[in-house]
Amino acid sequence: MSVRPNLPVVVITPFYNSEEGLTRCIESVLNQSFSNFEYILADNRSDDGSGHIARSYLEKDSRVRYRYFSEFVSQRENYNRALRELPASARYCKIVQADDFLYPSCLEEMLMLAALHPSAGVISSVRSIDGQQDPPNAHLVPEFGSGRDIARATILGKFYAFGSPTTVMYRGDLVRERVDFFRKGAFFDDTDAILELLKHSDFAFCQKRLTHTTRDPESILGRVLSFDISLLYRFMTARRIGRCFFSENELARLMHYLTRAYYDQFVRSLVHRHDRWNYLAFHRNVLRDSAAIKIDLVSTCRSFFRNLARRYLAS
């Protein structure tokens, strides 16, 4: 892997009021060891100093493109809108979130993997988050795997190799095929998008630490990290698209296990957590917003406790 790749790639940073971390983010991209790329900075009508920072790089580096959007939209739509800027010439697309940054060899390492595995629609790597390596069991992730095998391992909980949007690189043709790359109504929209790509493409993974994720405890995800979201995601995903990756019998067994595990954990959390009502509201909202799942958790809990009482009285 000593040959430097020469594959066109476009890096995109969608941002809104990201003055604090934007310079570090931009510098990390422009200082990559691989230099043949275009960099799009997509401004969601920021009203702090972010726009000024982004525009200042137009004069410093010819690879930078600045796109200002006068209509303010949600974070998901801001990302979707930015991805629609991907030019037809781009073979690969790399999102870098404004609070995050890349290590110097990120693009080079990912593009070398892309050259080795051209059928890979998603390329990922080890990342740094909270001072730790993620995933912690990265040694279990193969350098190359079929989309079906990687999706199955993810839903089964063997490993989670996708990190955040900054962690992965997508094949450009797959991005352009989707009008809305991140699905409306999906709380886990980035992982949902990856699994959709893995229906029709493969996966490659670099064991080197190539990106850094900055975790904001006040972000949407940061506020709910302790709400058993991994099990919730696996439960929802198996119900929504498990049939794409598992046989009918496999999926039936998996759903039996995940349903029991999810509701057991859910009820235990309602009993023991001090923030149980916030926990309940989060799970109800996530399940309610899922296009494929309509579950009344209150009725389910009542049924669970009734069945528990019957088993107790019968023993």
- Per-residue pLDDT, averaged over 134-140, amounts to 96
Residues 6+ apart with CB under 8 A from 140: 158, 159
pLDDT band at 298 (very low <50, low <70, confident <90, very high): low
Residue 293 has pLDDT above 60, yes or no: no
| pTM for the structure as a whole | 0.88
Question: For 143-146, which contacts have Cβ atoms below 8 Å and span 24 or more sequence positions?
Answer: 143/113, 143/204, 143/205, 143/206, 143/207, 144/116, 144/117, 144/120, 144/202, 144/203, 144/204, 144/205, 145/202, 145/203, 145/205, 146/202, 146/203
Whether the upstream peptide bond of residue 118 has omega within 30° of 0, thus cis, is no
pLDDT at res. 292? 45
Residue 274 has pLDDT above 80, yes or no: yes
pLDDT at res. 144? 98
- Per-residue pLDDT, averaged over 30-54, amounts to 96
**Backbone torsions φ then ψ of 15, nearest 5 degrees:** -150, 160
Highest mean pLDDT among 47-56, 267-276, 301-310: 47-56
Q: Quick count: other Cβ atoms within 10 Å of Cβ 282?
A: 18
- Cβ distance 109 to 206 under 8 Å? yes
Residues 6+ apart with CB under 8 A from 303: none
pLDDT at res. 7? 56
Residue 266 has pLDDT above 50, yes or no: yes
Query: What percentage of residues in the chain have a pLDDT greater than 70?
Result: 87
For the chain, give percent helix, strand, coil, nearest 5: 45, 15, 35
Give 179-197 pLDDT, tens digit per residue: 899 988 788 899 999 999 9
Give 201-249 pLDDT, tens digit per residue: 999 999 999 999 997 755 555 567 788 888 999 999 999 899 999 999 9
What mean pLDDT, rounded, does the chain reach?
89
Round to whole Å and give the CA distance between 156 and 258. 9
pLDDT at res. 301? 61
Supply the DSSP symbol for 70: S
pLDDT at res. 2? 42
Higher pLDDT, 163 or 300: 163
pLDDT band at 50 (very low <50, low <70, confident <90, very high): very high
Round to whole Å and give the CA distance between 127 and 193. 19
Domains and CATH numbers, the chain: 9-215 (3.90.550.10), 224-314 (no CATH)
Burial 99-109 (b: 16+ CB within 10 A, else e): bbbbbebbbbb
